[in-house]
Amino acid sequence: MGRIRPASIDAVIGDRPPGLGPPWEHDLAGRIELGVVAGRALVGNHLGDPADRPVLVQLPPGYDDDPKRRYPSVYVLQGYAGMLTDWSRRTLLRPTTPELVDTAFRAGDAPGCIVVWVDAWTRLGGSQFLDSAGTGAYQTYLCEDVVAFVDAAYRTLPAAAHRGVLGLSSGGYGAAMAAMARPEVFGAFASHAGDASFETCLAADLARAYRLLRDRYDRDFAAWEAALAADPAVPGPDEFPLLMIHALSACYSPAPDGRPLLPFDPATGDRREDVFARWLALDPLNVAPARADACASLRAVWIDAGRDDDYHLDLGAERLARALRGAGAPLVVHELFPGTHQHLARRYPLSVAFLSTHLAET
């Protein structure tokens, strides 16, 4: 199933020597362990990415004091292009995200819970936490392989009523989709600026992706894929929209052989309606009404976004909150706050506290 070993966040995944103290390393009130999950669902994935994946399990203060106490669990999903090592990235005047969560535990702002930092990165930059012939069975990996590993190794409350999932951007999308698809696994979710309302949030990047193919690759998607395969550093940073649309195509609209099918014609930029229909079928706004029973079973939902989100995901957040309420979700908290799509780590302790409160044993 996997293996674990204890270590501090910096010693586990950072690039700083341990034992130096702040600002390189901070003492935690709880502790973090590094695990390796045997990803049976990822074996033979189309991209040839590793099936065995690292996972960080953050234990709250006092976990070792009472060997009989069990805790709710909250699974955290990264955004597009995010890797597990990003959680240790220290920036000027800002603690790491796990340190923010630990501080919330220490201060009593969040009830104790087990926080699981999940890796679902792919060589295309992300998986959207979906099962796809183009990337791999990442939703199954999350809901079965990772959850089984954590429940076996730690004192969780091993039921959907005590298990939540959250994320930012693509991770928020993955959290919403996992909770709606697998209500027997997750009983609550939180989404920080999660992908939703695809026709709104993806319009600009689809246009930019087409322009890049037109102006730099003579409208030839295969030429761009060949350049990427030959040297991943060849596409410049300004080609991020094409990188992302490439990855989303692998997740949302793979061909039977796993090749990504773009939702527009590279020769003209015109939308391929049959392909884009596959994308819209995976838009949480459309999934919620189709999964009304699952939505009605959720104990709690938290949805937020910055009012000036770079991808207009504040609009998607508003619409998804309405869609979930319309589908019968009993508790949906929706908030818009001052800010953009950047520097949202401060939101994680809030959603961890919210989920752990509603997932606690009652």
In the chain the domains, ranked by start, together with CATH numbers, are 2-196+288-359 (3.40.50.1820), 199-281 (no CATH)
The pLDDT of residue 362 is 66
The pLDDT of residue 5 is 54
Ranges in the chain, pLDDT < 70: 1-21, 23-24, 234, 362
The pLDDT of residue 269 is 97
The pLDDT of residue 20 is 65
- Around Cβ 167, how many Cβ atoms within 10 Å? 29
For residues 295 and 348, give the distance between their C-alpha atoms in angstroms, rounded to a whole number. Answer: 22
Give per-residue pLDDT as tens, 245-268.
Answer: 999 999 999 999 999 999 999 999
- Around Cβ 23, how many Cβ atoms within 10 Å? 12
The pLDDT of residue 10 is 46
For residues 308 and 193, give the distance between their C-alpha atoms in angstroms, rounded to a whole number. Answer: 11
Question: Could you tell me which of 67, 316, 341, 85 has the C-alpha nearest to residue 196?
Answer: 316
For residues 137 and 128, give the distance between their C-alpha atoms in angstroms, rounded to a whole number. Answer: 10
H runs (alpha helix) in the chain: 9-13, 97-107, 138-140, 147-153, 170-181, 198-201, 203-216, 221-230, 240-252, 273-281, 284-290, 292-297, 313-326, 348-359
